[in-house]
Amino acid sequence: MLTSAEIQKMYSEKLVTLDEAAARIKDGDRVYVGVGGGVFKDLDDALSKRINSLKGVELVSLITFPDHVYKSFSESEGIEHVRFASTQYTGYDRAMADAGCSWYVPIMFRELPSYWDIPGNQFDAVMIQARPMDAQGNFNLGPWVGDVFSAIRNSKKVILEINENVPYCHGIRNYINIQDVDCFAMGTNPLPTELVSKPFGDLERQIAGHIVPLIKDGSVLQLGVGALPNCIGSLLGESDVKDLSCYTEMFVDAFVDLYEAGKITGNHSAVDGKMVFTFAGGSRRMYDFLDNNQLACVAPVNFVNDIERIASMDRFVSVNGCLQVDIFGQVAAETIGAKHFSGTGGQMDFVQGAFKSREGQSFIAVSSTRKLKDGRLISNIMPTLPQGTIVTTPRSATHYVATEYGAVNLKGKSTRQRAELLISIAHPDFREELIQAAERMGIWSSSKFTGL
């Protein structure tokens, strides 16, 4: 254990300016840049100043929140200087992909920390945000842990950007000690990136209205991001359901609403009654709720998303979204055709873990239609997924699918029954053509059996 004098000596020796920290990045370096709101910001500004003097730098993130603009990208003169990789696409990842300098990293989220242990996958540097050092020499990582500890373990050097406005979070393996830091620089203390979901409307209320009645007292909840999870939280807050727990990949505002409505007790959580998550994204109110809140527990993703740990909690309820579903029950949450929009995230982790839980339920929620740029309305329940579309959840794993027209269970159902059920929750304008497509594919037959 370090003495106070040793800690202060290391502090003085390792404190550098932002420009000096950015100068540690060399040609060909592979750099891990963080999770969500923990992605570097001021260090990015500093790195962008010299990006065109560097060759072949690769920046890798778990997820970049949408309002963060990589100056390293906008200032770069081309891919020979910097390229990007992400395990979860957002708007900026898509913009960089369109510019030909960003690629997706396919993952099973619970496995992600192990990927960086594989020879050839290590990093030359980790550059992330953290809170100021405490008296024991520890830098708290705030509410964004994910796979950070593994990236640190598998990196040649660790560079921190210190931000006093990073919320202090209690948890598991959510800090780094000064002994393991190569250098750190004081940032400009930007506020945490807010993810403000659009207000939910009638569509979300209709979808949530088919899910909430199936949620029982004593359930453990995992919710995704967006208007629908917030709607589910609102409807649960108004319902008679009680004694809920929060155990989720991403902590969102809906859990704050449920806690303040007296719905969350934590009695059935796998971690001492705490609200467990691996990263957070939401409003300033949500970050303030998490700051130094001993009821909250942030932990590595291989802990949070572990299927057996999820399954150990009775009545686990998982709610995730997608882009499209076909009438076989295949779920596409990442791409439409070859066009990449999002990522696998922990959908499969929670789909499988929730179903394995006693009385557990997994829901995939999707609006029945979407409007194209040319104004045409198309069905999100399709005969087959468009050519090139990546399947996120295979048909064998899909449990419930919910639209504004209902929620149907696909487990144990034949291909014909699945088609019937999914067509029953498709938009009425598309049901007949879906039936006809099912007939053409041999799933749905109206002919009389005449023997072999």
From the CB of residue 15, how many other CB atoms can be counted at a distance below 10 Å?
Answer: 15
Q: How far is CA 281 from CA 167, 387, 395, 447, in A?
A: 12, 33, 30, 53
Q: Are 221 and 244 in contact (CB under 8 A)?
A: yes
Does the annotation count 249 as an active-site position? yes
Q: Are 345 and 88 in contact (CB under 8 A)?
A: yes
Integer Cα distance of 332 and 160 in angstroms: 37
User: Which of 321, 420, 340 shows the shortest CA–CA distance to 380?
Assistant: 321
Integer Cα distance of 407 and 141 in angstroms: 39
Which segments of 75-169 does DSSP mark as H helices, in order?
A: 91-98, 112-115, 148-153
Query: Which residue has tokens 């009645």?
Result: 213
156: phi then psi, degrees, rounded to nearest 5? -75, -30
From the CB of residue 206, how many other CB atoms can be counted at a distance below 10 Å?
Answer: 17
Cα 17 versus chain centre, distance: 32
In this structure, the strands spanning 175-177 and 138-140 are antiparallel
Integer Cα distance of 221 and 229 in angstroms: 11
Integer Cα distance of 228 and 31 in angstroms: 35
Run of H or E residues at 254: helix 253-260
From the CB of residue 267, how many other CB atoms can be counted at a distance below 10 Å?
Answer: 11
Integer Cα distance of 125 and 123 in angstroms: 5
137: phi then psi, degrees, rounded to nearest 5? 85, 20
28: phi then psi, degrees, rounded to nearest 5? 80, 5
- β-partners of residue 115 are none
Sheet of strand 331-332, all strands in order from the earlier edge strand to the far edge:
331-332, 324-326, 381-382
Query: Which residue has tokens 């891919």?
Result: 79
- Cβ-based neighbours of 386, under 8 Å, separated by 6 or more: 324, 336, 337
Question: Can you read off the two tokens belonging to residue 105?
Answer: 């990293």
Say which of 249, 308, 420, 439 is annotated catalytic: 249
From the CB of residue 257, how many other CB atoms can be counted at a distance below 10 Å?
Answer: 19
User: Which of 23, 26, 76 shows the shortest CA–CA distance to 48?
Assistant: 76
As annotated, the active-site residues are: 249
